Amino acid sequence: MSLDPIIATGNAAREPLRVPVHMGVIMDGNGRWAKARGKRRTEGHIEGVKSLRNLVELCITHGVAHLTVFSFSSENWSRPREEIAFIFNLLRRFVASDLQRLIRNNVRVRIIGTRAGLEPSLLRLIDDVEAKTAGNTGLVLVVAFNYGGKAEIADATRRIAVEVAAGRLLPEQITEQTIEAALYTAGLPDPDLIVRTSGEQRISNFLLWQAAYSELVFVDENWPDFNEASFMRVLETFTRRERRFGGIEAASS
Ligand code: IPE
Ligand code: IPE
Ligand code: MG
């Protein structure tokens, strides 16, 4: 289990902030943000992309190594067709408009989720952005798109079952590591912090396996309103949390 780095905030008088190695974000509340302003839901999604761009910069500045954002869930298929099409186009536009900036900022992009059923042109785009940023060594930006935690675990189980059926793996050889290696997030550390905006307090099928020991922080702002001050407040909350991993308080040991 890796320990989170403690970094100075630049203000020597303040407590140093603990920065997560891997931060997950459930970017929720775009629709409510728009509704509160008499706008269409789609306008909330556009503003949400601006917040995401801003968050990427904040993670780079503050030294978060991995950022996973939930951008479209397997359950979001139940939304109106036009809204789904809009969100898909927004992903295309984000890649087109931000790819050069991501490369310049040394960001490595990884897209996790179910690929089956996605349009071939979208799949090419996903492969392209991953390939063009594969050599980058800075922030790892993981975009959970068409992602569901249960689907991910089912996919992993299927892959392991294929190995067992082929005689390459014995059932008694299956460990937590076998499952981890078969998940979409293979090779990534588990998120130490998961943030959800918009006041909802649930996981909604995000990183189910990986969230086993994540600190959960729920904030009231809708995603388009999440800014640098919100980010710093989240880090302050995370810094105050005592992570025990089933053990006892550090002071009692
Ligand atoms: C999050 O905002 C974006 C996606 C789920 C794609 P919502 O669209 O869920 O906004 P609310 O929760 O309806 O306000
Ligand atoms: C979770 O938000 C999914 C994303 C942010 C992409 P939802 O808005 O889909 O979640 P529920 O329906 O409120 O649980
Ligand atoms: Mg929502």
Residues 74-130 have pLDDT tens digits of: 999 999 999 999 999 999 999 999 999 999 999 999 999 999 889 999 999 999 999
Architecture per CATH, domain 16-147+192-237, reads as 3-Layer(aba) Sandwich (3.40)
Question: Within 10 A of 98 (CB to CB), how many other CB atoms are there?
Answer: 19
Write the pLDDT tens digit of every residue in 210-239. Answer: 999 999 999 999 999 999 999 999 999 999
Ligand 1 pocket check for 198: Cβ under 6 Å: yes
Contacts by residues 41-46 (CB-CB < 8 Å, ≥ 24 positions apart): 41/83, 42/83, 42/86, 44/222, 44/223, 44/224, 45/86, 45/87, 45/90, 46/90
Would you say the C-alpha torsion 104, 98, 144, 227 has a positive or negative sign?
A: positive
Q: Is the CB of 32 under 6 A from ligand 1?
A: yes
**Banded pLDDT at 179 (limits 50, 70, 90):** very high
**pLDDT tens, position by position, 36-50:** 999 999 999 999 999
pLDDT at 2 over 80: no
User: 85: which 2 tokens?
Assistant: 């099409």
The pLDDT, as a whole number, for residue 250 is 73
Q: Give the pLDDT band of residue 24 (cuts 50, 70, 90).
A: very high
Closest alpha carbon to 71 in 57, 60, 56, 58: 56
In testing the pocket of ligand 2, which one of 25, 27, 71, 73 has its CB within 8 Å of the most ligand atoms?
73
Q: Confidence class of residue 8 from pLDDT cuts 50, 70 and 90?
A: very low
Please give the helix or strand (H or E) that residue 67 lies within, else none: strand 66-73
Query: What is the identity of the amino acid at 62?
Result: H
- Quote the pLDDT of residue 1: 46
DSSP, residue by residue, 200-219: ----TTSSTTTTTT-EEEE-
Q: Which residues are registered as beta bridge partners of 68? A: 24, 142
CB 208 within 8 A of CB 190: no
Dihedral (Cα; 116, 122, 123, 127), 10-degree rounding: -150
Residue 115 Cβ contacting ligand 1 at under 6 Å? no
For CA atoms 99, 209, 4, 11, give the dihedral sign.
Answer: positive
172 Cβ contact partners less than 8 Å away, ≥ 6 residues apart: none
Residue 76 annotated among the catalytic residues of the structure: yes
